[in-house]
Structure 1
């Protein structure tokens, strides 16, 4: 009798939960679509989210308010469409109209760049960078926007991440990648357009964690080499950072990516060039764009027993000369 009652109670809870969810369903966007965001200028960019299954969602962008885009959610509640952006400018609003609709505010059109890698990219003012506090104090740049993705790994691809777009200020500059910030500042000054940086990096990580697991497993040489990478304090398994720190962005419209990584691959430098090419090719496939991928050669530092950085730099140089648009 008790198992039956427990089963019946469980079913009632499920039905009640379903009723609550169904009756209060509203439009949900992934966190990369939020107030203060930057969309890639002069492009046809993807926008996606979730609502009631079968619901028609309408989208009205402030730079082209006469054009209403309509998209219907599938039976899993997911929907995706594209929206045309114009020349750089803003701020604009984007209205997402439907049950529980919402409005995105302070949206800019400009250049969007991914900033990724390990500690050299992660390093911020708190790491005691040269003139860090002086630079932070004057970092009031309303046309620079920052999207910092938290460091977390995942076994499977994730649909979202816990982040939000922020306007560049002394406070937000201190909390983001110094390399990413100075890159954005120079780009904004040279082009005189809004710039958004998506900062997704994790100190100590090897390149394999940023590549889709399937890309490693489908290549015998790379798959055999992956087992030599064992770390206690940061991720080492192929794909775990791609799943949680890249996949939630796909297929957000971007201009390109900058990369600063390599120290954690000194032990398997022989295949680093192939790994870099695999990462670049797979990201370009993910975002459906042959975007520029720029990277920094690692410094001639004493890396201890794995002091083979010169060979990593050699591999990086080879990639720069053989992989287009790098």
Structure 2
């Protein structure tokens, strides 16, 4: 009799446990203090009791109830219209016997912020004017969803964190670049801004890319990554845990600061990140803007000039992937022996100026670096043409730092280069041997002296051989 009673009680406990687990659940990205993308149809999803009909009620549009049905695996998803920026609101999901309410919901702009240590770098790690910036970090219109550094061998559906309002305490432990980016946007757009921060120092781009993309690619699969006990190197492991749980949360775009850990495999970097962006865009269901930082000058001690080759690959991406743009920050480097430029405010704000112009149609400050357009030989002179959104060039040094001219023998020629508007003119001696080649900061750590009238640095370059 006792055994029968215990069996029945056990079955009831199991049943009640299953029912408890089947109650309405939301992933952590839907938590108090969240920001939802304004003027959009945002995906809302979670788990519940199979076959149950759920009602989703939004505080910004109380007259419109969205209904969805939980599928046979206990999952549900719906699209909820949002209006113009504002809040705070509530978002409620109701079932027959259960409900979940999210409070302090803001409508505004949402950006994904990802990469390695220069994106992860926080005020606690040491930034320019760090304590002063922390004291001024109380900004209720900036919301932070900081993903903890964790990996997984398979794609995950949730992560262990929550939304936080920007305060001195929350700001000092999250990405400084992302925070300053968001702060600039909220101050100029006058709307709430949410940042989804997923970054881990030292990580190569392979770990942020779905594993099957890397492993099935005949070029990418051959890349060798240095094993290290302090960060993951297995393809896909950070995508699985730090990107996939956010899918398909509606975002306005992504900022990316990464590349240092890929320089030894530089020739395939554009291919790798292009495929990564393509996969993320497929996940988030639209071709969102992808804006990134070119790696800064640093004394890597690398072989075969791979940091310069990686910067070249980063520029190549601009022509390979639509809706991309890049900023150069070589003028913000204080010490080339430090791989982490400390002026994160200027970096975040330069990215924000890019977004303000490209996404929101408001030009607030210059952000674009000139790039090489062409180079030709004209009457005993090599003329290098640069293009971009600028009027003229200048040099911060009497002789242009970082500019190198070589001849057909590979010898470096000493010349007095002159700047003419958007051109650099280098005289060559008649006895020198073509073809000529001009490079600018095409090495590990040189900080060049060329600037636009707005003070922005010229992108590094290396021309093709110039004969006529």
TM-score normalised over the length of structure 1: 0.93
Larger Rg: 2
**Which residue of the partner structure matches residue 414 of structure 2?**
none
Equivalent of 2:76 in 76, 79, 86: 79
**Residue 139 of structure 2 corresponds to residue 141 of structure 1:** yes
For the residue of structure 1 that corresponds to 2:280, the secondary structure is helix
Question: Which segment drifts farther, 316-325 or 74-83?
Answer: 316-325
1:191 aligned residue? 189
Q: Is 1:53 the counterpart of 2:50 in the alignment?
A: yes
Say if 1:74 and 1:302 are closer, same or farther in 2 by CA, change over 3 A. Answer: same
CA–CA separation in structure 2 for the residues paired with 1:61 and 1:23? 25
Query: 1:143 deviation in Å?
Result: 0.7
Work out which of the residue numbers 29, 34, 37 in structure 2 matches 1:32.
29
- Within 5 Å, give how 1:133-212 maps onto structure 2: 133-212=131-210
Separation in structure 1 between the aligned mates of residue 219 and residue 20 of structure 2, nearest angstrom: 52
In structure 1, C-alpha distance between the alignment counterparts of 2:230 and 2:164, rounded to whole Å: 29
Question: In the alignment, is the contact (CA less than 8 A) between 1:229 and 1:237 conserved in 2?
Answer: no
The equivalent of 2:246 in structure 1 is 249
**Hey, what's the Cα distance between the residues in 2 that align with 1:17 and 1:96?**
26
Work out whether 1:91 is the aligned partner of 2:88: yes
1:125–1:175 contact (8 Å) kept in structure 2: yes
Q: Distance in 1 between matches of 2:181 and 2:245?
A: 23
Structure 2 Cα separation of the partners of residues 186 and 10 of structure 1: 62
> Counterpart in 2 of 1:318?
316
Superposition pairs for residues 257-276 of structure 1, below 5 Å? 257-276=254-273
Aligned residues: 318
TM-score (normalised: structure 2): 0.65
Residues 63 and 308 (structure 1), Cα distance of their counterparts in 2 relative to 1, 3 Å cut: same
Kindly indicate whether the alpha-carbon contact (under 8 Å) linking 1:210 and 1:239 is maintained by their aligned counterparts in 2.
yes
Q: Structure 1 322/24 Cα, relative in aligned 2: closer, same or farther at 3 Å?
A: closer
Equivalent position of 1:300 in the other structure: 297
Partners of 1:92 and 1:286 lie apart in 2 by 27
Distance in 1 (alpha carbons) for counterparts of 2:108 and 2:7? 51
8 Å CA contact retained: 2:274, 2:320: no
Contact 2:22–2:47 under 8 Å retained in 1:
no
- Consecutive unaligned residues of structure 1, counting only runs of 5 or more, are none
Structure 2 CA distance for aligned equivalents of residues 234 and 73 of structure 1: 38
2:60 alignment partner in structure 1: 63
Change (3 A) 1:310 1:59: same
Q: Is the 8 A contact 2:29 2:162 kept in 1?
A: yes
Could you list the runs of 5+ residues in structure 2 that have no partner in the other structure?
325-468
Aligned mates of 2:124, 2:64 — CA distance in 1? 45
Query: Is the Cα contact below 8 Å between 1:26 and 1:100 reproduced in 2?
Result: yes
- Pick the structure with more helix per residue: 1
User: How many Å apart are 1:304 and its aligned residue?
Assistant: 2.9
1:311 to partner: Cα distance: 1.2
Contact 1:45–1:82 under 8 Å retained in 2: yes
**Partner-residue secondary structure (3-state), 2:219:** helix
CA offsets per residue over residues 159-210 of structure 1, 9 Å max, x none? 0000100111111111110000000011111211110000000000000000
Match runs of 1:280-291 below 5 Å: 280-291=277-288
Secondary structure (helix, strand or coil) at the match of 2:106 reads strand
The 4+ residue runs of structure 1 with deviation greater than 6 A are: 9-12
Per-residue deviation, residues 198-230 of structure 1 (Å, max 9, x unmatched): 0000000000000011111221111222x4443
Question: Is residue 144–residue 194 contact of structure 2 (8 Å, CA) maintained in 1?
Answer: yes
